[in-house]
Structures are given as structure tokens and as C-alpha cells.
Amino acid sequence: MARKILSFLVCSACFAHVNLYGQDSVQTPVKWDLQTCLDYASKNNYQLNSLRLSKQTSEESLLLSKAAVLPGISGTATEYYTHSKNANPVVGGFQTESSFSSNYSVSSTWTLFNGGYLKEDIKQKNLEVNSASLSIVQQQDDITLQVTQAYLNILLSKENIVYEQDLLNTSQSQLKQGQQQFDAGSIAKKDLVTLQAQLATDKYNLVSAQNAQRQNILTLKQLLLLPSEFAFDIAVPDTLIATALIANLEDVQKVALDTRPEVKISELGVQVARLDLAKAKAEYLPTASVGAALSTGYSNNASDAYLKQLDNNFYQQLGLTLSVPIFTRRVNKTNVEKSKIEVDQADLTLKNTKTVLSQTVEQAYINVLNAQGQYDAAVEQVTATREGYRIATEELKVGAVNTVEMLVQKNLYVQALQNYIQAKYSAALNIRIYNFYKGDPIKL
């Protein structure tokens, strides 16, 4: 009995980890960290899986291109049934006759020389496979940045909720104290109403922060292609680094230009275009091929037996064909000129890709400088306004300041707090984006 209970519990635990939305079975954590999100997106993203299928198509094209240098062999077997009226030379008139005949053949053709077209085609298809692999890497990088930004947005909203809840708790305490002072006749009605209005504002801000968190979680779930009913939340790291020493701009640009997949894809595009040009020029050259054939046949109208006829009708053929293009009505010339244009276009695409990447890295560098500067200023601002708000709160308790003066300090603190939270996560994100361009993996 104990063994049956244990088996049932094991089966139940396994079933609990089954992915209920059509993907592979995975153990779903209650709270996902960033790496879990990135791994899941890498496995299940539609665009990535589509690019992986495109790579498989390119690999099949490469295999076909390599097989084109091999001889092709085909076999045919034909059976004929003939029904006809023929003149009867003995008795005159016509008689109806039926006959059966068979033909069997095996033929082969093998291209010996075609101006290097097949050789260049194999090189081109191999480059296209490499380009397809790089496209997967590029899409993976794009998804990594999108998921990281969505993840940090959730962390921002979570921290904002904590601060808003603290402010709400403080407002509730202040209103309670204000009600006591009003009942004792220490403050006017307008001061009490002001505290009530501030409490309502803090409640509104908390609800807004909670809604922002729900929206940010929805955004990340949509990036991960998780279904609506899937219970999902993220793990909050113990610390989040928002400041760091950043590398020199020129060094990061050089690393990016040397390693980024979009540049390598454009470089491969130039090579592919040049191979297209080589293939177009190969059409000007003669093509030499060898052909061979074996054939035999049988007819029931003949007097010999079946096997004897196959032997008598058996013949072998071997031939060499040389095809020389003489006049192609400008087809070859047009293909060459178009290929030259494609080479120039590929060169321009490569230059534009490098320019855009350099500008993107430079913008990321500027974003880091701005974000870190704002973060440093926000730290000072929130420290000062927090102390001012604390002092005003204490003075309100003893009647040294009125409610309006205290709320002025509170609003300054709230604004500084919002600036601090935004600057903190902006700096954290921009640092990771900039370092990502120099090859550093994204980690919190």
C-alpha cells in the first residue's frame, strides 16, 4: 500500500510540472529569474524558431548544391499494348491483332566542366548557411535586450510599490494624528481636509503603481509567449548594480564592429554577391558533360524468347557533349551587369551597417553617461528631501509647522523618490546595454 501511495505522489509531482500550453515539458518555477526568462525565450520564441527552420532550409540547399557535382542516374521501364487492324495477305481483308512490347533503359549524365559554376554555387550556399546561423544570433541578441528591459521594468514597478506603500502608511498615521489634533481643537478643519486629500492621493499613486506592475508583467509574458492563465512572477535580486566603470567608446565600437552578427551578416552578403557575379560570368564559358545509356526491349510479335530478345536488343551508348554559348540575346551580359550592381549594393549595405552600429554604440555610451549622472544627482536629491520631509514630519507633531508646509516637503521628497527610482533602473539598463555591445553577457 505504501508503495502505491509513493508511486501516486511521484506521478502527481511529474504531472504538476507538465507545461500546459503546448510547449515541451519544463519545470516551471514559481518566480523566474532573468536567466530563466532568457533561456525560455531562446527556446520558444517564434522568430527564433522560424530562423532555425530557415537555417535548415539553407543546409538542405547546400547539400543539394554539393550533390550537383555528382553524376545523375535514371532508369525507365515502359510497357506497350498495341491493338490494330492489319491487312491479311493470305485470305485478304483485315484482321485484328494485339501485341505487347517492353523497353528498359538506364541513363546517366555527368557535368565535367561548366566554368566553375557548381564550385562557386557550393561556396555561396555554404555562406548562406553561415549567414542563417548569424541571423539566429542577432535575433537572440534582440530578444535578450527586450526581455532584460521588460524584466527591469517589473523590478522598477515593484520597488515603486514598496515606496508608495510606505508613503501611504505615513499618510495614514499623519491623518490619524491630525484627526486627534482636530478633535482637540489644535488644527483647523482645512488642515484635516488637506491630510485626507493627501491620503487619497497616496492611495491613487499606489493603485497606479500596482497597475503598472501588472502591465509590465503582461509585457514580459507576451515576450515569452506565455498564455494569459499562466501564473507568473519574477524573482527580485538582492542587489542591483546601477553604477560601474564604463569602457572607452572607441574600444567598444571596435569590438562591436569585429564581433556583432549584423556586421558579419553584411560581410557575408558581400561575399555572396561576388559569388553570384562569378556564377554569372561562368555562363559565358563552355559546358562539357558526359552521358551514358543502356537500353533493351522485347516484343511478343518477335519469334525469339523473352530473354533472347533482351540480349539481342541490348545496346550501350557513351557520349561527350560540349555546349558553347554563342549568342544568348544578352541574357548572360545582363546577368553579369545585375550581379555587379548587387555587389555594389552589398558594399553599401555593409558600410551602412557599420555606420549604424557605430552610432548605436555611441548613443549607448551617451545614455550611460547621462543615466549615471542623473542617478548620482538623484541620490543626493532623495537624501536631502528625505531628511527635509523627516524633519517636517517631526515638526508637525509638535506644531512647529503647519500641514501645508509639511506637505510641500513631502511632495518634494515624492518627486525626488520617483526621480531616484527611474534613474536607478535607467542606469542599470543602459550600463548592461553598453556592455552587451562589447560582448559581456547580461546579468543583474
In a domain, 408, yes or no: yes
Instruction: Give the pLDDT confidence score for residue 21 in this predicted structure.
Output: 39
pLDDT tens digits, one per residue of 319-336: 999 999 999 999 999 999
Same domain, 298 and 160: no
In a domain, 57, yes or no: yes
Is the pLDDT at 12 greater than 50? The verdict is no
In a domain, 275, yes or no: yes
Same domain, 120 and 264: yes
Check which CATH number belongs to the domain holding 145 and give it.
1.20.1600.10
Tracing cell 562591436 back to the chain, one arrives at 256
Is residue 376 exposed (0-12), middle (13-18) or buried (19+ Cβ within 10 Å)? middle
Same domain, 131 and 142: yes
Rounded to an integer, what distance in angstroms lies between the CA atom of residue 111 and that of residue 323?
11
Same domain, 148 and 25: yes
Lowest mean pLDDT among 86-90, 138-142, 277-281: 86-90
Instruction: Give the pLDDT confidence score for residue 277 in this predicted structure.
Output: 97
Helices (H), 260-305: 261-282
Lowest mean pLDDT among 3-7, 267-271, 368-372, 409-413: 3-7
In a domain, 1, yes or no: no
Is the pLDDT at 337 greater than 60? The verdict is yes
For residue 153, give the 3-state DSSP assignment: helix
What are 78's strand-pairing partners? Answer: 103
Q: Show the CA angle centred on residue 250, arms to residues 244 and 255, nearest 5°.
A: 85
In a domain, 9, yes or no: no
Same domain, 347 and 232: yes
Domain end position, chosen among 309, 324, 339: 324
User: Of all residues in the chain, what percent carry a pLDDT higher than 90?
Assistant: 75
Same domain, 247 and 305: no
In a domain, 444, yes or no: no
Same domain, 302 and 342: no
Total domain count, the chain: 2
Distances (CA, A) of 336 to 58, 81, 333, 339: 24, 51, 5, 5
Same domain, 225 and 248: yes
Same domain, 83 and 138: no
In a domain, 360, yes or no: yes
Instruction: Give the pLDDT confidence score for residue 15 in this predicted structure.
Output: 36
pLDDT tens digits, one per residue of 20-61: 334 444 445 468 999 999 999 999 999 999 999 999 999 999
Q: Which domain holds residue 79?
A: 72-113+287-324
Tracing cell 549524365 back to the chain, one arrives at 109
Q: Is the model's pTM score more than 0.85? A: no
For residue 26, give the 3-state DSSP assignment: coil
Instruction: Give the pLDDT confidence score for residue 13 in this predicted structure.
Output: 38
Instruction: Give the pLDDT confidence score for residue 10 in this predicted structure.
Output: 36
In a domain, 355, yes or no: yes
Domain end position, chosen among 324, 348, 381: 324
Rounded to an integer, what distance in angstroms lies between the CA atom of residue 438 and that of residue 3?
56
Same domain, 176 and 155: yes
Rounded to an integer, what distance in angstroms lies between the CA atom of residue 139 and that of residue 221?
18
Is the pLDDT at 141 greater than 50? The verdict is yes
Which span out of 225-234, 253-262, 302-311 was modeled with the highest average pLDDT?
253-262
Same domain, 170 and 270: yes
> Bigger pLDDT: 16 or 287?
287
Domain end position, chosen among 263, 298, 324: 324
Cell of 16: 504538476
User: In sequence order, what are the residues at sequence separation of 6 or more whose Cβ sits closer than 8 angstroms to the Cβ of residue 238?
Assistant: none
Question: What average pLDDT does the structure give for the chain?
Answer: 89
Is the pLDDT at 369 greater than 70? The verdict is yes
Same domain, 234 and 295: no
